[in-house]
């Protein structure tokens, strides 16, 4: 039986600090007979997100037996989007073609959603969009990126514009929105260093004050137990991806919560998502309040129904299932082992 050293988002797969979402993958891998090692030489090294520390510990593993799984865009983790980093791994999986650098990476159709029964139960609990107060909201932790193409600041600009120019209530939820000036400067300095080291180009216009979200009548709520709990209470969800070349769980969560996404991100057609499920954020986002004001109640309800119709389709739920995505990744590990044993 081959030995696997697996790092996930910078943590060993055996760590008690493993991201809760990835605990399921650990259980699935163990059930499939995958053997994890840490303090001895591994036959294979698997990194979900490049980690310099963990790669250094596995330099004795042949390049052909190393697998990199890229799940974050360049604005979040720029170094793993460099060709010089990708070539340290003999096998690279990416979430989307937009993450391809070398031209021969394989697509991993990772998932974002819990099991079908859980999703459908969440949808049943939604209150009709017609009975929700006129409201728009964003749920994201406060983060910074100076990598060219970052949309972190854009989502806040949209929220601030609505708070100033729209009659509805505007909400902001997530961690770190009440951070101090000192901590903000430290975090943005680190983000700038990471952007420079990442070599993907920098954009200094992404700087913003730690009080940027506080200068309007935005209701700042802080961390929430779940995204669904927050989103299910609002009418419009601000869904602006970290970068405009992929789709994350943000859009899918808005569909599940029964709200209408105001969307900026990856090309919906590439993912088979109907455009009638969202309001596309215009390039001139100062028009967004006018768009919302001109929508009739029936038009709003129709967009919300389109999103629910999409996300409740059995094939769609299977496509975006976390469990299915993990099974695909597990198959990659088993194929690595199989191919090595046959040589």
Which tens digit of pLDDT belongs to each residue from 170-219?
Answer: 999 999 888 888 999 999 999 999 999 998 899 999 998 877 777 678 89
**3-state DSSP helix/strand/coil % of the chain, to nearest 5:** 45, 15, 40
Q: Give me the residues paired with residue 69 across strands.
A: 48, 93
Strand partners, 147: 202
Quick one: pLDDT at residue 110?
Answer: 87
Which of 53, 62, 119, 93 lies closest to 312, judged by CA? Answer: 119
Confidence (pLDDT) at 305:
97
Q: What is the pLDDT of residues 251-278, one digit of tens each?
A: 999 999 999 999 999 999 999 999 999 9
**Of how many residues is the chain composed?**
343
> Which residues of the chain register pLDDT less than 70?
215, 343
Q: What is the pLDDT of residue 213?
A: 73
pLDDT at residue 91, rounded to an integer: 96
Which residue, 228, 212, 208, is CA-closest to 220? 212
Q: What is the pLDDT of residue 196?
A: 94
Q: What's the angle, vertex CA 249, arms to CA 245 and CA 251, rounded to 5?
A: 75
At 166 the three-state DSSP class reads: coil
What confidence score (pLDDT) does residue 39 get? 72
| Measured distance CA(52)–CA(100) in Å, rounded | 20
Give the pLDDT score at 343.
66
Confidence at residue 215, expressed as pLDDT on a 0 to 100 scale: 67
Query: What's the confidence (pLDDT) of residue 40?
Result: 76
Residue 243 near residue 150 (C-beta atoms within 8 A)? yes
Supply the pLDDT for residue 341.
76
């Amino acid at each position: 039986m081959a030995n696997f050293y697996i790092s996930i988002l910078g943590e060993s797969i055996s760590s008690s600090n493993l991201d809760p979402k990835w605990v399921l993958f650990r259980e699935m891998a163990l059930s499939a007979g995958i053997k994890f090692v840490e303090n001895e030489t591994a036959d294979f090294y698997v990194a979900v997100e490049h980690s310099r520390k963990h790669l250094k510990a596995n330099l004795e593993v042949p390049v052909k037996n190393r697998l990199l799984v890229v799940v974050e865009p360049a604005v979040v983790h720029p170094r793993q989007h460099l060709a010089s980093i990708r070539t340290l791994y003999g096998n690279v999986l990416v979430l989307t073609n937009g993450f391809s650098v070398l031209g021969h990476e394989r697509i991993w159709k990772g998932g974002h959603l819990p099991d079908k029964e859980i999703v459908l139960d969440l949808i049943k609990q939604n209150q009709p969009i017609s009975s929700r107060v006129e409201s728009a909201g964003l749920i994201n932790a406060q983060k910074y990126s100076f990598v060219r193409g970052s949309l972190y600041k854009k989502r806040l600009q949209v929220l601030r514009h609505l708070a100033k120019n729209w009659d509805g209530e505007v909400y902001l939820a997530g961690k770190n929105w009440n951070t101090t000036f000192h901590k903000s400067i430290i975090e943005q300095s680190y983000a700038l260093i990471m952007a420079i080291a990442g070599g993907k180009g920098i954009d200094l216009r992404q700087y913003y004050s730690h009080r940027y979200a506080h200068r309007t009548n935005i209701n700042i709520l802080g961390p929430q137990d779940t995204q669904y709990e927050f989103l299910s209470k609002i009418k419009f969800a601000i869904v602006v991806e970290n970068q405009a070349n992929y789709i994350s769980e943000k859009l899918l969560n808005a569909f599940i919560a029964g709200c209408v996404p105001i969307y900026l991100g990856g090309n919906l057609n590439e993912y088979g998502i109907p455009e009638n499920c969202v309001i596309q954020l215009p390039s001139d986002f100062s028009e967004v309040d006018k768009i919302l004001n001109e929508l009739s109640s029936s038009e709003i309800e129709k967009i919300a129904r389109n999103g629910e119709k999409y996300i409740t389709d059995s094939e769609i739920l299977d496509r975006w299932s976390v469990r299915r995505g993990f099974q695909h990744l597990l198959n990659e590990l088993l194929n690595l082992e199989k191919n090595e044993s046959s040589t």
